[in-house]
Amino acid sequence: MTDVARLAGVSHQTVSRVLNGSPRVRPTTRDKVLRAIKELDYRPNAMARGLVSRRSHVVGVITFDTILFGPASTLLGIERAARTAGYGVSIATLERLNRANILEAVDTLTGRGVDGIIIIAPQLAVTAALRDLPAGMRAVAVEASHNAGAPSVAVDQVAGARLAVEHLLSLGHKTVWHISGPGDWLEARDRVSGWRQCLEEVGAAVPPAIGGDWSARSGYAAGGILAGQAGATAVFAANDQMALGLMRALHERGVRVPEDVSIVGFDDIPEAEFLSPPLTTVRQDFDEVGRRGIATLLRLLEDDEPSTDPPIAPTLEVRHSTAAPPR
């Protein structure tokens, strides 16, 4: 470490901060240290670092058994950010996110000697568990509400929904129908809220939301309902999978997208731009969620003071599934 410091022209403490992922290092300084580490082929001894710092340099992540794009991408973003910060990851995967299972997972990860824990917490049931974490436990919630009882990192879901609805209204549609996610998901509730707010602000009619469960199958079922609704020329689906099912259902009934019905999804899955037509959707930056989650946890470990950053702004990816309404 002394050799790295000498080559980079910085102090021994600065090298230590870079290795520990501290946010208190200027990017230019961090780059100099990382170049010196690469040039010298320096590899920190994890056991020695643990003995000196009394840290394992491993973070625990509590997630749940799912193939849903959002939570799976969030986990990947956390793993990437942890690796960049020099931390390993120990993952506890739960079949169900509830208070008892989460607290049990916290005990398990604590027994593995993790320095802190990140909880992927998109469901209402997680809030109670976050408020009952053991005293002194350093924990960060991602995809959670800002009153979760722990420092949190999240994408602004309300703003994302507004981007979708505002885009459709700007094309001339009189109102926008919505296929919502499950009611016990915080993100689904926020997207409903943003959709409704946007319509009410311009005095547009607010159709009843059609409930879905994030699956393409539920989007397909919603398509059967929407195909029979006179004047339903624009639909905001709460995720891309449901938008995909909706597109299939409309196609089977001879309803054209976007000539007859415009569709906006949410998430920007990798396949979205290859659908027919390519899907207009709201993009979430899951890598940024991971970076902020790890940075928030490291600040907590260093300062022992909780802090929450502003929500991450989503973006709208405009493709060919939206157009002006038919005359």
Q: Are 199 and 175 in contact (CB under 8 A)?
A: yes
Same-domain check for residues 202 and 238: yes
Same-domain check for residues 274 and 163: yes
In a domain, 324, yes or no: no
In a domain, 79, yes or no: yes
In a domain, 253, yes or no: yes
- At 64-86, the pLDDT tens digits run 877 889 889 999 999 999 998 88
Measure Cα distances from 245 to 109, 216, 223, 275 in Å: 39, 4, 7, 11
pTM comes to: 0.81
Q: What share of the chain has pLDDT > 70, as a percent?
A: 93
Most confident by average pLDDT, 29-43, 70-84, 274-288: 274-288
* CATH code, domain with 150: 3.40.50.2300
Q: What is the pLDDT of residue 147?
A: 63
DSSP assigned state of 127: H
What is the domain range of residue 120?
Answer: 55-154+285-312
Same-domain check for residues 240 and 163: yes
More confident residue, 147 or 2: 2
- Mean pLDDT on 26-31: 89
Same-domain check for residues 181 and 271: yes
* 199-230 as b/e: b if 16+ CB within 10 A: beeeeeeebebbbbbbebebbbbbbeebbeee
Which of residues 283, 301, 321 is at a domain's end? 283
Residue matched to tokens 């794009």? 69
pLDDT band at 301 (very low <50, low <70, confident <90, very high): confident
Same-domain check for residues 148 and 161: no
Q: What is the pLDDT of residue 47?
A: 45
In a domain, 49, yes or no: no
Same-domain check for residues 167 and 270: yes
Distance CA 278, CA 262 (A): 12
Please tell me the total count of domains within the chain: 3
Distance CA 91, CA 120 (A): 11
Tokens read off for 196: 């409704």
In a domain, 290, yes or no: yes
Residue 86 Ramachandran class (φ > 0 left, ψ -120 to 50 alpha, else beta)? left
Same-domain check for residues 161 and 279: yes
pLDDT band at 41 (very low <50, low <70, confident <90, very high): confident
In a domain, 230, yes or no: yes
Look at residue 93 and give its three-state secondary structure.
strand
Same-domain check for residues 223 and 269: yes
Same-domain check for residues 106 and 210: no
Q: What is the pLDDT of residue 68?
A: 87
Q: Are 284 and 156 in contact (CB under 8 A)?
A: no
In a domain, 99, yes or no: yes
Q: What is the pLDDT of residue 49?
A: 53
Same-domain check for residues 162 and 277: yes
Cα torsion 195, 199, 202, 205 to 10°: value is 180
Across-strand partners of 317? 281
Same-domain check for residues 138 and 83: yes
Distance CA 210, CA 166 (A): 19
Same-domain check for residues 25 and 121: no
In a domain, 254, yes or no: yes
- At 136-188, the pLDDT tens digits run 788 999 987 666 667 889 999 999 999 999 999 999 999 999 999 999 899 99
pLDDT higher than threshold 50 for residue 51: no
